[in-house]
Structures are given as structure tokens and as C-alpha cells.
Amino acid sequence: MPAALSPIDKAKFVAARRAVAFVEDGMRLGLGTGSTAAWMVRCLADRVQNEGLRVTGVPTSTRTAELARQLGIRITSLDEAKWLDLTIDGADEFDANLALIKGGGGALLQEKIVATASDQMIVITDAAKEVAHLGAFPLPVEVIPFGWQTTRALVGETLGSLDVLGREVTLRMNGDRPFVTDEGNYILDLHLGRIDNPRQLSLVMNQIPGVVENGLFIDICDIVIVGHGDGRVDVR
Ligand code: 5RP
């Protein structure tokens, strides 16, 4: 274990290390995005270097691709790999049904495509991300830049007819400019407070023209590994 980790980094590290123990020789892996997923890439690189583990990774962002490349993990595209054995990724929230909110790091589109194209998805988190009801974390919705203000208005109107507490929709910014995803799109953050029917919300959001994808992951995650600051790990 790396020396002198803060409790939050230790929680992320132990969750990542446990998830990487599921990786077998020859696997094709989806590599998630974010600070927890970065620990997973480091733990995976450690096994590649020290055990001679042979794996091929499909990164879900340019950030993850760069880190994997730097650490000597072989990477390829999803089109090349076609199907994956396992994806390991972080999340912003998860509930008792292993439904997730993702996209805090802005990579939800590639993350959802890659996780859906995998036999199994393992999510790695710290304990603070477990919730009784999704929605305290703003739900990211990726939209194309063309007509994004009209799309935002439609998203707002649609929320009016759904069972959610809050209705505020904000454009994610990067300084004084819109945040732009790896796919060249914008992100709307939906401040909902509580989502009572995530499946319905996900389906309805994706029917709005201009919406590319939303950050609700329903029936995609198989296992959640929760790390704690004292080094304990729970598997859900
Ligand atoms: C990126 C994501 C991340 O997995 C999520 O935001 C969690 O990130 P972190 O591990 O840094 O808390 O969905 O799009």
C-alpha cells in the first residue's frame, strides 16, 4: 500500500485493489474514469508489471487512456476489442439496487457504452457514495451543443411532469466556458434532490432530442466494492 494516504485515498485504494483482484490473465477490461478509477489503473499496472498479467484495456476517457499508457497497460478501442470481460469504474452515488449516478467527471457517455459492452461491471467507491435514494448528487445529462438552450428548456419542462423534488438545470462550466466532453458535447446538471423512479427518468430523458445520454446506470452494475478509510472493504 502506498505510504501516508489520506483516509479518503486509502478507501479508494483498498476498493480498487480488491476489484483488480477479480482480473484474470487475458481479460479485456473497461477502464473507468475519475480519481477512484485512477487508483484501479495504478493497481492494475502493478499486477501487469509484477505478475506479468496480460490484459487489454479500453479506456473511457482521454485522461484514463493517458494514465494507462504512461503506466504500461496495453490499450485499444472498443471497436477493436468488440466485447469486454469486465469494466471497473467509480460512481458518484449508488443505492441498494446497485443503480448508479455517474458522470461527475464528465465521462458518462463512454463509461455507459463500455460498461454495457461488458460481461460484468464492478463499481469501486468510498462509503460516502451509498444513498437510500439517488438524486442528492446532480444528475449529469450529456447534450449536443446545437440548440442546447432549447434542449435545456425541454429537459426542465419534462422534469415538471415527473416525480422529482428539485427542477434546477445548470450548464456545467469549465471556468467561463462550457465544459466540453471527450465527444465534444455539453453537460447539463439536474439538481433533483431525490429521484424516486430512476428507470423512468432515464428513459424519459433519453427521448428528448438533443440529449445524448444521462448518468443513470440501471441494471448495469453487478458488484459494488466499498472501501473505508481504515482499510476495510465491503462487497455488495
Ligand atoms: C466520471 C465518473 C466517475 O466515476 C465519478 O465521477 C466518480 O469519480 P471519483 O472517483 O473521482 O469520485 O462517473 O464520469
Q: What is the pLDDT of residues 203-217, one digit of tens each?
A: 999 999 999 999 999
Per-residue confidence (pLDDT) for residue 1, from 0 to 100: 73
Asked whether the ipTM of the predicted complex exceeds the cut of 0.90, the reply is yes
One-letter amino acid at 23 equals V
pLDDT at 165: 83
Give 166 Cα–ligand 1 centroid separation in angstroms: 22
Between CA 214 and CA 231 the distance in angstroms is 33
Q: How confident is the model at residue 3 (pLDDT cuts 50, 70, 90)?
A: confident
pTM to 2 decimal places: 0.96
Grid coordinates representing 206?
433519453
Residue 34 annotated as binding?
yes
pLDDT for position 97: 97
Given a cut of 90, is residue 2 above it in pLDDT?
A: no
Beta carbon of 36 within 6 Å of any ligand 1 atom: yes
Task: Give the pLDDT confidence of 152-176 residue by residue, as tens digits.
Answer: 999 999 999 887 788 999 999 999 9
Average pLDDT over residues 68-88: 98
**Residues annotated as part of the active site:** 111
Which atom number of ligand 1 is nearest to the Cα of residue 35?
11
Q: Judge residue 174's burial from the number of C-beta atoms within 10 Å of its C-beta, 0-12 exposed, 13-18 middle, 19 or more buried.
A: exposed
In the chain, the N- to C-terminal Cα span, in Å, equals 23
Question: Binding site annotation covers 202?
Answer: no
DSSP, collapsed to helix, strand or coil, labels residue 48 as: helix
194 alpha carbon – ligand 1 mean position (Å): 19
Q: Is residue 112 a known part of a binding site?
A: no
* Coil, helix or strand at residue 51: helix
